[in-house]
Amino acid sequence: MASLVITSELFGSMFGTTAMRTVFSDRRLVQYYLDVEAALARAEAGLGIIPKEAAEAISAAADVANVDWDRLAAKTEIVGYPIVAVVEQLTEWCAGDHGQYCHWGATTQDIMDTADVLQIRDALDLVAGDLRPIGDALAALAERHKATPMAGRTHLQHALPVTFGYKCAGWLSAIDRHIARLDDLRDRVLVGEFSGAAGTLASLGEDGLAVQDAVMAELGLGRPTITWHTARDLFAETTGFLALLTGSLGKIAYDVMLMMQSEIGEVFEPFVSGRGSSSTMPQKRNPISSELILAAAKIVRQHHGTMLDALVQDHERATGPWHAEWHALPEAFVVSAGALAQARSMLEGLEVDTDAMRRNLDATGGLIVAEAVMMGLAPVIGRGRAHDVVYECCRTSLETGTAFIDSLADHPEIADRIDRARLKSLVDPANYLGAAPQMVDRLLRERG
């Protein structure tokens, strides 16, 4: 059998989780099909459309443990879809002639689409199970380090001082938005499908809408306002959510990777003996979780692209785009689960080196707060001139190796206006954090 990454014995645990793979396994999928068939039978029995005894027999028999897998696979390949083969076996499992009432008034896509929604419901529960702890881990880091100064970087260069808690709070804000998106998404996407061959429920006559309502009540799903056999925006929205989520995790991972560089050394993924080691370089501690998260973000984005392509479907039943979903939706969820698991483990055990943060902050001898000096001088000589004067002092320090404070103190337009004690205060990065700590407090307060 081919070694596919998400199911591989070698790579599977790196790019997915057992729990999410189980949700999208063949056994669970077929059980979802059977659950929908059983719910349909109970709904129709409750409305007097089929005998109550038939519904009881169908519900009792609808167990994936009964499946003949070789026969199911062979028939699915012939038909092109699995439901005919599933119903054929389910009919045989029922005692007497009760099996003849299986799949009454339904069409294949009704069963498959609704099973997909059941999968999505369980899969989103797993996503939430990691997403909220990731938010909690980031909130703890933000609170602990809201006043821990570090170099803020723009274009990969020192910009102005920030705090590590401020950086974590920025990450957290995106995670909190994803938690809100997840709650909103459930309301829209957890809607079942039962509409019949062309979506009009014609096979059930006047009972069609009542059966639809009853089936959804049995399954705990929302009732569709109108048939969505070829209106696939909700499934595409689902993978869009996963793409946004893994993209935000990728941003966190990218920052961590950069901060783990040997020259920086400000944070480290949790230490596990041998993890991230090299076959030839014993000193290496590679950012494995971050690398996997970054890869996952790229993979899920591609699957979302496939789901967007699958939106364009023909008439009342698709001739191919639907099949693309069978690949993209499960893999997007499995890979997202892997990214979430890696991120949770990394952030809950993240090692923070505050000494390295301070050392890097001081690496330019105060140049990182040149803006502070400029703003201190601006009321005296004007902002434009203050910018030019401080720029000259920065160039002097960089070109001659002179300490920044000395370059400032020696400049005639500064020496007569700001004393050395004031200059020393201005070039201390810890004194130029702006509202970063207060922003952290505000975010933590507002998230409850």
Active-site residue set: 155, 278
Question: CA triplet 156, 159, 163: central angle to 5 degrees?
Answer: 100
Angle between helices 233-259 and 288-309 (to 10 degrees): 160
Distance, CA of 51 to CA of 44 (rounded, Å): 8
Query: What would the two tokens of residue 107 be?
Result: 């069409």
Distance, CA of 303 to CA of 372 (rounded, Å): 47
Beta bridge partner(s), residue 43: none
Question: CA triplet 58, 62, 65: central angle to 5 degrees?
Answer: 145
> CA of 231: how far to CAs of 32, 219, 257, 308, 310, in Å?
22, 21, 40, 12, 10
Q: What b/e string do you get for 376-385 counting C-beta neighbours within 10 Å, with b at 16 or more?
A: bbeeeeeeee
Residue 235 contacts residue 191 (beta carbons within 8 Å): no
Distance, CA of 401 to CA of 7 (rounded, Å): 57
* Identity at 127, one-letter amino acid code: V
Which region, left, alpha or beta, applies to residue 265 given φ > 0 means left and ψ of -120 to 50 means alpha?
Answer: left
Per DSSP, 284 falls in state -
**Nearest one of 339, 335, 329, 336 to 309, comparing CA atoms:** 329
**Nearest one of 411, 401, 390, 415 to 364, comparing CA atoms:** 401
Query: What would the two tokens of residue 129 be?
Result: 């199970």
* DSSP H helical ranges for 220-366: 233-259, 288-309, 321-348, 354-361
- Write phi, then psi, for 352 (nearest 5 degrees): -115, 125
- Write phi, then psi, for 77 (nearest 5 degrees): -65, -35
Residue 335 contacts residue 300 (beta carbons within 8 Å): yes
